[in-house]
Structure formats: C-alpha cells, structure tokens
Amino acid sequence: MLSGQGSTLFSGVNAMIGILSAIQLWLVAASLEALYSNDVVTPQAAFVASCVLALVNALLCRHALSFDRRRQEERRRASSPRRDRRVGAS
C-alpha cells in the first residue's frame, strides 16, 4: 500500500527541501550585504528565519526517512515466505 506513494512523497519532499535551501542561501546573501552596509537588524532577522527554515528542512527529512523505513518494512514483509501457522500443519 505504501510503495505506490513513495516516489510522489520523495519528489515533493525533495522539491520542498530544494526551495527552502535556496531561500536560506538568499537569506545569507541578504544578510552579508546588510552587514557590509552597517545594518545589524537585518542579519538578526535573517538568522532567525534561516533557523526556522533549517528546522522545517530537518522535519521534512525525518518524515521522508521514517516513511522510507515503513515502506522497506512493508516490502520485506511482502517478499518473505508466508508460513502456515495452523496447528498440525506441515
């Protein structure tokens, strides 16, 4: 059941991580430019926003990895030979 959703989930998560990483890079560039112009408020706000984005990225990665573990477990269960657990069965 989970295996059909895997590629869609990973594509979506990877796209989100890529977009959020690009935004973090933009925040670094904006804060460096603000520092060069002697502005101290903008880099502080960019730092806070970057920390929030890093947390969201970490949660997305954790969700994708846990989904992958569940999918591999399901695949392993489906491929293992089924034993007959009835009493007296040989």
Does residue 83 belong to any structural domain of this protein?
no
Q: For 24-79, how does the pLDDT look when each residue is reduced to its tens digit (9 = 90+)?
A: 999 999 999 999 999 989 999 999 999 999 999 999 989 888 888 888 888 888 88
For residue 86, being part of any structural domain is answered with no
CA dihedral 75, 77, 79, 83 (to 10 degrees): -170
66, part of any domain: yes
Our count of domains for the chain comes to 1
3-state helix, strand, coil in the chain (%, to 5): 80, 0, 20
Note whether residue 25 is domain-resident: yes
Nearest to 54 by CA among 42, 66, 62: 62
Domain of residue 69, residue span = 6-76
| One-character DSSP codes across 26-54 | HHHHHHHHHHHTT-SHHHHHHHHHHHHHH
Q: Determine if the pTM surpasses 0.75.
A: no
Domain membership of residue 81 (yes or no) is no
